[in-house]
Amino acid sequence: YYPAALHLQSYEAAVPVDSSRALSQGVRDPETNMFLDLFRDGIMADIARAQPDIVGISIPSMPQMLAAMTLAYLIKESGLPIHVTVGGPHVSMLRDELVKAPAIWSLIDSAVVFDGEIGLLELVRALEQGGDLAGVPNLIYCDDAGDVHVNARNTPEKITNLPPPDFDGLPLDRYLAPKL
């Protein structure tokens, strides 16, 4: 996978993850993408078994772009009818660039930007009710015609109005830090 470098606390991709075209090619390259086989042999079996309607991938920072987009690519490649959405601080930072990056939209269906609590909940509800995403706040999405839409941003919720995180059902034993 040279020149990629994996360290306990960081990862340096062998492809430029700040270029949507290079990233789109990098997710498919078994010579430079260490995540392809890892995800194919690991998490994709879990996803195929669970058959979720939606998979959300958090991207907190730039070094996680290749791993996140590789997972998105493998989900799309599997042919499973799964809506792939991304979110997180890095996605929010790149929101203006996402609209202009057609290569990324072959990998994902939508992106929840800024505060995700309400946007993600409304995305799930919209998909359950047939898929009209036009009213989902904080959402960028690509429609079936290939047009990218940017929905209105909602006013952030007061943190005291939001429920605490619920980790029930999350397999914490599969994480490097298995305790909260």
Helix (H) or strand (E) holding 107: none
The Cα 98–Cα 157 span in angstroms is: 24
User: Residue for token digits 């059902």?
Assistant: 169
pLDDT digits (tens, 9 = 90+) for 95-147: 999 999 999 999 999 999 999 999 999 999 999 999 799 999 999 999 999 99
The Cα 54–Cα 44 span in angstroms is: 14
Q: How far is CA 92 from the centre of its chain?
A: 12
Put simply, whether the predicted model's pTM sits higher than 0.75 gets the answer yes
pLDDT digits (tens, 9 = 90+) for 99-108: 999 999 999 9
The Cα 10–Cα 164 span in angstroms is: 29
154 contacts: CB under 8 Å, gap ≥ 6:
115, 118, 119, 137, 138
Helix (H) or strand (E) holding 112: strand 110-112
pLDDT of 36 over the 90 cut: yes
Q: What is the pLDDT of residue 178?
A: 62
pLDDT of 16 over the 90 cut: no
5-154 architecture in CATH?
A: 3-Layer(aba) Sandwich (3.40)
